[in-house]
Structure 1
Amino acid sequence: MSHTFIRNGFIASGLVNILAVLLLSRGFTNTVIPETDPVVMSNFGLLMIAVWGLVFLAVAPRYWHVKWVVGAFVVEKLIYAVVWFRWITTHEVAAVYARDLFAGVFYSVYGLNDFLFFLFFTAVFYQLHTRGTKPLSSELG
Structure 2
Amino acid sequence: MIIKKTTITKGFLIAGLMNATVLIFSKLFTNSIITEFDPQVMSNFGLLMILIWGLTYMSVAKKYHEVKWLVGIFVIEKFIYGFIWTNWIINNNVYDVYKKDVLAGLFYSIYGINDWVFFIFFLSVFIHLFRTKNSA
Smaller-chain TM-score range?
over 0.9
After superposition, the C-alpha distances for 1:99-140 in whole angstroms (9 at most, x for unaligned) are 000000000000000000000000000000122476xxxxxx
The amino acid of 1:108's aligned partner reads S
| RMSD across aligned positions (CA) | 0.9
**What code does the residue aligned with 1:124 have?**
V
Note the C-alpha offset of 1:13: 0.3
**In 2, Cα distance between the equivalents of 1:58 and 1:131?**
21
Residue 33 of structure 2 aligns with an amino acid whose one-letter code is: V
User: What amino acid maps onto 1:21 in structure 2?
Assistant: V
Aligned positions of 1:67-78 closer than 5 A: 67-78=68-79
Q: 1:23 to 1:60 in 2, by over 3 A?
A: same
Q: Does 1:127 align with 2:128?
A: yes
Name the TM-score, length of structure 1 as normaliser. Answer: 0.92
Amino acid at match of 1:12: I
Q: What runs of 5+ residues in structure 1 fail to find an aligned partner?
A: 135-141
Preserved CA contact (<8 Å) 1:127 1:133: no
- Flag as ranges the 4+ runs of structure 1 deviating above 6 A: none
Establish whether residue 116 from structure 1 lines up as the match of residue 123 from structure 2. no
Aligned to 2:97: 96
Q: Which amino acid letter does the alignment assign opposite residue 24 of structure 1?
A: F
Aligned residues: 133
TM-score by length of 2: 0.96
Percent identity over the alignment is 50
